[in-house]
Amino acid sequence: MTKIALILGYGPKDFNAGQSFSEIKTNTPYGDTSGTISHGKINNNDIYVLQRHGNDKTIPSFMVNFKANIFALYEIGCEYIIATSVCGSLREEICPGEIVIFDQFINLSTHRELTFTDKLDIEKLNHSALHKPFSDEIRDCLIESCVKLGITTHTKGSVLAVDGPRQSTRAESNLYRQWGADVINTTTAPEAILAHELQIKYASLSLCTFYDSWRTDIAPALRAEKQQLIDSNGNMLLQVINTAISVLCNN
């Protein structure tokens, strides 16, 4: 029996895959999780679902309690975390509406505490090299699922993490491109770092919603335009996740 956690971002609505899910209570030394965690079974495997931005999706990215979220899933015994997110493109070929499955990150976030050494003995934590921050096992399942569903997907990419909520200046955006970053967002690196420390396999399925500030030939995307892309692709992200769970559980 496998325990798989889903951390859902702004786009996907409730996930139940046709199954009955029930809420479970959690208590962490880091406070409350973003929302309630629901539990159900798919093919005799335990699935735990957490909305990153709260049940009503009102918690902005820079206020997410990442430590409580990841610690709660660790206490439950989750072996895998499949997350969804959104990102801004730093590359011409990564277009709004397309999927990116990250293989690397650059972390520039400074306002998040990204270790559990304050509560757990250092001997229990994974401080090995983070040269591969995302699980190849989960990534392969996500890629296979996108292929099966005929979804345009970038099978690798480096995501640059910032605190937000503001977007980049044009100078910053061009610097990030020079560094080799492909997209930018605020949530993926903190989750990946914390999950790695607790030895939980983690990967992210990210929807590109806009071009970052480096573009000079188009107007910056409005919030409403990004939200429209998010709303129209939420069910597609859930389809990919549902297929990926089946692939992962059958491996």
Kindly report the CATH number assigned to the domain that includes residue 246: 3.40.50.1580
Distance of alpha carbon 61 from alpha carbon 210, whole angstroms:
17
Q: Which amino acid is at 33?
A: T
Q: Is residue 40 within a helix (H) or strand (E), and if so which, with residue range? A: strand 37-42
Per-residue confidence (pLDDT) for residue 19, from 0 to 100: 66
Helix 223-250 to helix 136-149 angle, to the nearest 10 degrees? 110
- For the chain, how many structural domains are there in total? 1
Asked whether the predicted pLDDT for residue 11 surpasses 80, the reply is no
What is the reported pTM? Answer: 0.95
**Residue 51, H or E segment:** strand 45-51
For the stretch 98-127, pLDDT in tens is 999 999 999 999 888 899 999 999 888 999
Q: Give the span between the Cα atoms of 210 and 95, in whole angstroms.
A: 8
Read off φ and ψ for residue 59, nearest 5 degrees.
-90, 115
Run of H or E including 209: strand 201-211
Residue 18 structural domain: 3-250
Q: pLDDT tens digits for 172-191?
A: 999 999 999 999 999 999 99
Please compute the mean of the pLDDT values over residues 63-75 and round it to a whole number: 97
SS3 state of residue 230: helix
Q: Round the CA-based radius of gyration of the chain to a whole number and report it.
A: 17
Cα–Cα distance measured from residue 100 to residue 65, given in angstroms and rounded to the nearest whole number: 24
In this prediction, residue 98 carries a pLDDT of 97
Q: What is the mean pLDDT of residues 146-175?
A: 95
